[in-house]
Structure 1
Amino acid sequence: MKITGYRTLRTVHDWGRPVGDVNGFIASGVTDVPIVILETDAGVEGVGMGSHADLDRLFPALEGQDPRATATLYDAMLARVFKSSHGGATFGGIGALDTALWDIKAKLAGEPLWRLLGAADRFVPGYASGLDAALSDGDLATLYARFAERGFTAAKLKGGRNLTADLRRFDILSDLFSAAGTAPALMLDANESWNLKQAVRHVRALEESIDLTWVEEPLRRWDATGHARLSAAIRASVATGENLTGLEQYRPILDAGGADIVQAGAVWGITHFLRVAVTAHGRDLPVSPVGLTANHAVTAAAAAVPNHLSAEVQDLGSPFGLTLDQEFHDGGVVLGDRPGVGIEVDEAAIRHARADGNWQEPAGPHVRSPRAGLRLVDNGSWEQ
């Protein structure tokens, strides 16, 4: 059996609300979802999502190879681009192809990926995370009430610019998620928007009023010393790692003791998540995947690792033209039995719709705010 080619599609996710964080937001709530379909001479195809970046440079590492050799082919893709580095969007291309390889492997085995990877339980604990920075208090309550109805008892807010607003919004979540009689787990995601002293002041002030479970991406992703100093200065755990593109990038922050909860972006693929989980497990640290809404396949990997803590569930819907073999119940994700990663693609519908969306809008969360980490006071504007 050999890999013979690939094709690409691009669909959209309509969130039905503005989505964003401290850096900005996308008012339309419509974002792009790149899809890669890997082809074989046996007619079995694999579906992956992540990025279309550098696929032409990466594919020669796979062409003519047996797709079941997932670990070897992953390393072959890294080797293919080692001179220019596998970082950034290129790593998303690797992640998309890697996920497609795992999809083929599980389909050939006739098993859902969670079972192939060795999980005994199809249930994956999760927390609600609505990319909610631009929502009014009323819309915030409406959104998170839907998660609470599905049994979620943990939630993460986007924030970090205005202490009063963060406290008010946490009160809304606390009321919603305490209805079942359980004290909720509350987290804050600052998306790399603070310097160290801003982070210490803001989190300590929050902790005077709430029991904060973790603070996420408080500082720039490479600031190992700063993360370690922050962790020592606050009660909450420090969670970070979602934007690290490669296992080697974790070494400085883990050696410094800067990550209490090790995160991995789902967009970077299954093999990356599995390797990060093992690395964290070797240090007795929990792992948490970020952004499972479109990258459903990593949920299956989370079910199979011993140190999985909780997975970020950003939305209860799915991208246009994709059917994900999962349900949301009891505060988590219940995976199905469809062989493979559990993604069914309606290519005809996607190609016919020709919808557009762009995470890279200048006002959106994927473009760093020009005054991030440099504000003395907050005036409520994204244009500072």
Structure 2
Amino acid sequence: MRITGYRTLTTVQRWGRPVGDANGVYPDGVIAVPIVLVETDAGITGVGLGSHVEIEAIFAAIEGEDPRCVTALYDRMLRQTFKAGHAGPVFGTIGTLDSALWDIKARAAGEPLWRLLGGRDRRVPAYASGLDIGLTDDELVATYQVYARHGLRAAKLKGGLDVDRDRHRLALVRDVLTEAAGGTRPGLMLDANECWTRKQAVRHVREIERTIDLTWVEEPVRRWDAEGLAAVSAGVRASVATGENLTGLEQFRPLLATGAVDIVQTAAVWGVTHFLRVSALAHAHDLPVSPIGTTPVGLLHAATSVPNHMVSELQDLLPPVGVSADLSVEDGAFVLGESPGLGITIDEVAVAAAGHRPDAVPADGPGVRPAAAGRRLLAV
């Protein structure tokens, strides 16, 4: 079997409400979702959800190769980009192609990827994550009531701009999940998306912890600030979670060496091979891993095969337009199906009809760091 070509598509995730974080909000809740289809001479097409920036140059590393040699091809793609650097969306393109190759490998074997990777239990514990900073109190409660009806008993809220507001919103969600669980205390997490300084992070979290028990605080300071993350971890009761924006094992090493991270995260868009390697590195430090992403299908399959998976992020309960996956959400967990590969099906007619955002990044969206981030004197 040989890789013969690729095609790129872009669909949208339609949340039906504002979504965002401390850095910005998409008021219409419409987010572009790039797709890559990798084709083979055996008639098997693999699906990858994620970036296709610089894909022509990166694809040259795998064209004509046997797609079943996935990990070797992953390293070929890294070598292909080492001069210009493989961070950011370029690393995302490598991860997208990598996920598509794993899809092909499992489809060729006639097995779901979770079984091919050695998983036994197809249930992957989940927590609710509504990208909810732009919601009113009533909208917030209604949103998490829907998650609760699917058995979710842990939730991660976006925050970081106003400690009183964050505490109030966390209490609202706590009450929703507690009632749904018959009085059992839920897990609560707060994601600041790198908007604080070290001291701001400690003061903000410690104030919340007067009345709210936080499981973790996510990305309290800049992703690369190993000393700062370690200082926050030492200064609060909650665990520190980070890693979704780190690209490559070399970026994790200083954080692990300084005890800067308690929950190791990886983003779905960085691919299956990256997740497996980060999980092994974290396991060597006795740390749990937790995948992040809107549609983290590949990492859900991979999570079944690693010994240190803790919980995976569940964002929107509906997939992107034109995308379907053989999985369900039941009793607080993703339940993977028996379809070969990732179990993803693409309806190209629906994708074409969906329309998508222009390539320009909105100046006030969550993808652009505000000029005042980390320098705010008062809440905004």
Give the alignment's TM-score, normalised by structure 2: 0.98
Contact 2:12 2:355 (C-alpha < 8 Å) held by counterparts: no
CA drift at 1:351: 1.9
In 2, distance between residues paired with 1:42 and 1:289? 32
TM superposition shift of 1:357: 6.4
Q: Indicate the residue corresponding to 2:327 in structure 1.
A: 326
SS in 2 for 1:178: helix
Whichever residue aligns with residue 241 of structure 1, its letter is G
- In the alignment, does 2:380 pair up with 1:371? no
What residue is the counterpart of 2:337 in the other structure?
336
Letter in structure 2 aligned against 1:283: H
The one-letter code of the counterpart of 2:54 is D
Q: Structure 1 residues 300, 357: CA separation in 2 closer, same or farther (over 3 Å shift)? A: farther
Separation in 2, partners of 1:90, 1:356: 20
User: How far apart, in 2, do the equivalents of 1:295 and 1:312 lie?
Assistant: 8
Write out aligned runs for 1:20-169 (5 A): 20-169=20-169
Please report the RMSD computed on the Cα atoms of aligned residues, expressed in angstroms.
Answer: 1.1
* Structure 1: tracts of 5 or more residues without a match: 380-384
- Match of 2:97, SS state, is helix
Q: CA deviation at 1:296?
A: 1.6
Contact 2:321 / 2:354 at 8 angstroms: preserved in 1? Answer: no
Instruction: Return the offset for 1:353.
Output: 3.5
Tell me the percent identity. Answer: 57
Q: Deviations over 1:2-30 (max 9, x none)?
A: 10110100000101111100001000100
In the alignment, the residues of structure 1 paired with residue 48 and residue 271 of structure 2 have an alpha-carbon distance, to the nearest angstrom, of 8
* Correspondence 1:241-252 to 2 at 5 A: 241-252=243-254
Distance 2:222 2:125 in 1: 28
1:256 aligned residue: 258
CA distance in 1, matches of 2:368, 2:105: 36
Give the counterpart of 1:202 among 191, 197, 204. Answer: 204
Please name the residue that 1:286 is paired with: 288
Q: Secondary structure at the match of 2:155?
A: strand
What one-letter code is carried by the residue in structure 1 that aligns with 2:77? Answer: M
CA contact (8 A) 2:122 2:335 kept: yes
Correspondences of 1:289-308 after superposition (within 5 Å): 289-291=291-293, 293-308=294-309
- AA at the equivalent of 1:306: P
Question: In structure 2, how many angstroms separate the alpha carbons of the residues matched to 1:191 and 1:279?
Answer: 24
Q: Offset of 1:295 from its aligned partner?
A: 3.3
Matched length: 378
- State the distance in 2 between where 1:358 and 1:310 align: 32
Q: Alignment partner of 1:370: what SS?
A: coil
**Residues 194-228 of structure 1: per-residue CA shift (max 9 Å, x gap):** 00000010011011111111000000011001111
Alignment correspondent of 2:228: 226
Q: Secondary structure at the match of 2:126?
A: strand
Aligned counterpart, 1:236: 238
Separation (CA, whole Å) in 2 of partners of 1:358 and 1:308: 34
TM-score by length of 1: 0.97
